[in-house]
Structure 1
Amino acid sequence: MAVRHFLTLNDLNNDELTALLDHASFLRRDWRAGNVRNSLRNRVLAMIFEKSSTRTRVSFEAGMTQLGGSAMFLSPKDTQLGRGEPIDDSARVISSMVDAVMIRTFAHEKIDRFAAMSRVPVINALTDDFHPCQLLADMQTYREHRGSIADATVAWIGDGNNMCNSYINAARQFGFSLRVACPEGYAPSQPLLEQHRDCVEVVSGPEEAARGAHLLVTDVWASMGQESEQSARMKAFSRFQVSPQLMSLADPDALFMHCLPAHRGEEISADMLDHPGSVVWHEAENRLHAQKALLEFLILGTLD
């Protein structure tokens, strides 16, 4: 059987994604009930981090432990990855010793190349282009609060970044309409927009995106590696803050999500995380359970 990777949401079909999210919700209930699960006993996950992280590292490491396996943290400064060893060579060696590899890096082509040479599943834990693991948690969270997201309207407010790109993929995969509102010059990938023109629309401002939407989502204005652009971005994004006032334009039962970390007073108002529609903390915890479901699916080839 060919090795399955998870580099974007498009690596799984709709039926697989739906089953994975159902299983993730089961794993959340099972864990909260205090049950012990050893589905990945004696399995090892290698975690390669070229970008720092809180939620990604904690969720993958805790997830492997909760499933009876183990995870090892690898950073460029501690391995030959940071001393010029070719990606192909690293992929061959690391994948010969572990059961799966999780990579958080900058250029997406790095993870594509690693996966091409790996004998075990490779998971994209974030690149500059996509963040599919976060979308699993987001879609799980919406399902647990509102049911299927099919035919809903989602508003993306802010930078056309890796999260926005993954929401564009999700619109097709999960059957919702996506409105993207971002400042001029900060739109998401044009080829990606062209490929999804039937389910994604770029609108003129946050109010137009939010009006009647069932879910509002945002992210920081300057991502890792863009710190030098902070001042320019603060000016460009000043009218793209998500606040209770903006939420008031959405559907009365609309939810709000943010992948965190959040900068209060910038992309969100100081009180937005405590808004009645905010499910940010539930969303953050679901990184753990969605990734446990993903690990079982990729390593075991099944969801039981």
Structure 2
Amino acid sequence: MHFVHYGPAGHQLTEKHQTILERNCQLSGGSWLVTDDRSAVRDADFIYTDVWYGLYENEMPKEERVQVFHDYQVNRELMALGAIGCKFLHCLPATRGEDVTDEVADSASSLCWEQAGNRLTAMRGLLVYFTRCRPEHTELEIAAARDTLERFLQDRIYC
């Protein structure tokens, strides 16, 4: 696949992340680009964003964050640059009107609600796994718990 990190200069993937991207692409045959050029999302199959406050909350005031990231909001215009059938992803919670518009988050193109449901299922599965794999259990009990977890997760994978 071709991965594009579109974001404002100074708030993009670090050199360390880019080294990891390069290594992964060499193994998979993929490619990557880190840019602040909006046209780089043209023909994207998926557009994925996150909230603007998480990583930068302690680094800059809200007004400054909104000013820096405003042009990177996922809205109808950005989605229109994507390929026909482009899907929207967000790990939630979203800050509506900042990182994404209601129009996109609530659209038929949005998979963020299914994505959040998958995360909940994964957390539940980990809870089952860790509560059943205490040191006082036998190897057979631990193997049975792992098998239960794998079946549980496999039955709940959403496509």
- Is TM > 0.5 for Structure 1 vs Structure 2? yes
C-alpha displacement at 1:212, in angstroms? Answer: 0.9
| Alpha-carbon distance change, 271 to 239 in structure 1, aligned in 2, over 3 angstroms | same
Deviations 1:9-53 (A, max 9, x none): xxxxxxxxxxxxxxxxxxxxxxxxxxxxxxxxxxxxxxxxxxxxx
Q: What SS class does the counterpart of residue 187 from structure 1 fall into?
A: coil
**Does residue 291 of structure 1 match 2:136?**
no
| Alpha-carbon distance change, 227 to 272 in structure 1, aligned in 2, over 3 angstroms | farther
Deviations 1:139-171 (A, max 9, x none): xxxxxxxxxxxxxxxxxxxxxxxxxxxxxxxxx
Q: Tell me, yes or no, if the aligned pair for 2:9 and 2:36 is still in contact at 8 Å.
A: no
C-alpha displacement at 1:196, in angstroms? Answer: 1.5
The alignment's TM-score, normalised by the length of structure 2, stands at: 0.69
Q: Tell me, yes or no, if the aligned pair for 1:220 and 1:267 is still in contact at 8 Å.
A: yes
CA distance in 1, matches of 2:58, 2:49: 18
**Does residue 211 of structure 1 match 2:42?**
yes
**Does residue 301 of structure 1 match 2:149?**
no
CA distance in 2, matches of 1:205, 1:269: 20
Q: Tell me, yes or no, if the aligned pair for 1:244 and 1:275 is still in contact at 8 Å.
A: no
CA RMSD of aligned residues (A): 2.2
For 1:272, which of 101, 104, 122 is the aligned residue? Answer: 104
CA distance in 1, matches of 2:99, 2:44: 18
C-alpha displacement at 1:203, in angstroms? Answer: 2.2
C-alpha displacement at 1:296, in angstroms? Answer: 5.3
Structure 1 residues 92-171: aligned runs within 5 Å: none
The alignment's TM-score, normalised by the length of structure 1, stands at: 0.38
For 2:15, which of 174, 190, 193 is the aligned residue? Answer: 190
| Alpha-carbon distance change, 282 to 195 in structure 1, aligned in 2, over 3 angstroms | closer
C-alpha displacement at 1:228, in angstroms? Answer: 5.9
| Identity rate, percent | 27
Count of aligned pairs between the two proteins: 128
> What letter matches 1:196 in structure 2?
L
Q: Tell me, yes or no, if the aligned pair for 2:88 and 2:111 is still in contact at 8 Å.
A: yes
For 1:245, which of 73, 77, 82 is the aligned residue? Answer: 77
